[in-house]
């Protein structure tokens, strides 16, 4: 008991002294003017020194929250976070900008970057740059990304970022449809036919314009046949034959 009384205060003092030697971003820039901090952040960003640029942007926001450069800094830090591979922070910064400056001329960029950050949030560095099948993963923030791009296109259909957002929406829709079809195929393989039918119907009703609709119809036919639902299987086969003649021939 006596030893604890001696060493615990000493340990606390050492920990506190250790923490105090590491300056926070705002402490590091205490003697800088707002203009100097902003210029430092911009230079760091241009040099692709994203971590240090983020530190400077955050210091400007903390020390000079009402400075004229803060709004642009809050927009630039979205990109800095993205390039630093911090997708949650990038999306959160974009959301904050939208909330603070909903009528800004360049708020469409924030909407776009929020969608892009969420687009990549479920992908690590390796998956961002190497081809992998994202449909085998739970969609996660992919759904949020889809909503983000939808909002962008609804509010700013003529934005310079709209064409890319539309392409990403097509990709995300196809990805979601493929994911649901793969889940349906998994249930079919496990003889969980009702679950397979339910998943296949999601693809057919919600992702009818995606390539996975054909796969879902085939799964639906097989599940109906396995359950002895001959009439439903025949009706679905007719739909498959009408929309995908080659697939119908493969079914026999």
pLDDT tens-digit map of 116-173: 999 998 654 434 444 444 544 555 668 899 999 999 999 999 999 999 999 999 999 9
pLDDT at residue 21, rounded to an integer: 56
Burial class (CB in 10 A: 0-12, 13-18, 19+), 164: middle
Type and span of the H or E element at 202: helix 193-206
Q: Can you give the pLDDT at residue 151?
A: 97
| 139, part of any domain | no
Q: pLDDT at position 136, please?
A: 47
**Domain that includes residue 219, residue range:** 179-252
Residue 139: per-residue pLDDT: 56
**pLDDT-derived band of residue 66, with 50, 70 and 90 as boundaries?**
very high
Q: What mean pLDDT is predicted for residues 69-91?
A: 97
| pLDDT given for residue 83 in this prediction | 96
How many folded domains does the chain comprise? 2
Residue 217 lies in a domain: yes
Give me the helices (H) in 21-129, please.
25-28, 34-46, 50-63, 70-83, 87-100, 107-121, 125-129
Instruction: Look at residue 14 and tell me whether its pLDDT is greater than 70.
Output: no
pLDDT of residue 23: 63
Q: How far is CA 5 from CA 1, 2, 12, 96, 108, in A?
A: 7, 5, 11, 47, 59
> Does residue 130 sit within a domain?
no
d(CA 30, CA 126): 38
Residue 3 maps to a domain: no
pLDDT for the residue numbered 187: 97
Residue 164 lies in a domain: no
Tell me how long the chain is.
Answer: 252
User: Tell me, what's the pLDDT at 248?
Assistant: 53
Is residue 118, in this structure, part of any structural domain at all? no
Report the pLDDT averaged over residues 191-216: 95
pLDDT value, residue 244: 87
* Choice among 47-51, 86-90, 97-101, 142-146 with the minimum mean pLDDT: 142-146
Q: Is residue 14 part of a domain?
A: no
Residue 49 DSSP one-character state: -
Please indicate, yes or no, if residue 44 is contained in any of the structural domains.
Answer: yes
Q: Which of 35, 62, 85 is the last residue of a domain?
A: 85
Q: pLDDT class for 12, splitting at 50, 70, 90?
A: very low
Residue with the two structure tokens 């085939």: 218
What's the mean pLDDT when you consider all of the chain?
86
Q: What is the mean pLDDT of residues 234-240?
A: 94
Last residue of a domain, one of 36, 55, 85: 85
* pLDDT value of position 121: 85
Mean pLDDT for 189-216 is 95
pLDDT at 30: 87
Question: 5 falls in which pLDDT band (50, 70, 90)?
Answer: very low
Tens of pLDDT along 16-59?
A: 444 545 567 678 888 899 999 999 999 999 999 999 999 999 99
Which of 41, 56, 85 is the last residue before a domain boundary? 85
Average pLDDT for 221-234: 96
């Amino acid at each position: 008991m006596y030893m604890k009384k001696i060493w615990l205060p000493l340990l606390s003092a050492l920990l506190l002294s250790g923490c105090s030697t590491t300056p926070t971003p705002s402490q590091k820039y205490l003697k800088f003017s707002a203009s100097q901090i902003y210029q430092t952040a911009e230079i760091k960003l241009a040099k692709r020194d994203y971590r240090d640029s983020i530190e400077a942007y955050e210091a400007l926001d903390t020390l000079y929250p009402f400075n004229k450069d803060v709004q642009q800094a809050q927009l630039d830090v979205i990109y800095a976070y993205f390039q630093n591979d911090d997708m949650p922070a990038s999306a959160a910064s974009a959301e904050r900008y939208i909330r603070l400056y909903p009528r800004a001329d360049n708020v469409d960029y924030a909407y776009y970057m929020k969608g892009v950050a969420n687009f990549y949030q479920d992908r690590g560095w390796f998956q961002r740059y190497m081809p992998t099948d994202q449909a085998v993963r739970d969609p996660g923030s992919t759904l949020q990304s889809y909503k983000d791009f939808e909002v962008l296109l609804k509010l700013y259909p003529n934005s310079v970022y709209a064409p890319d957002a539309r392409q990403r929406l097509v990709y995300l829709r196809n990805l979601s449809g493929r994911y649901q079809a793969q889940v349906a195929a998994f249930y079919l393989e496990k003889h969980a036919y009702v679950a397979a039918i339910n998943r296949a119907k999601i693809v057919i009703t919600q992702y009818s314009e995606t390539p996975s609709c054909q796969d879902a119809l085939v799964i639906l036919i097989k599940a109906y046949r396995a359950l002895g639902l001959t009439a439903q299987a025949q009706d679905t086969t007719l739909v498959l034959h009408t929309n995908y003649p080659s697939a119908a021939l493969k079914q026999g």
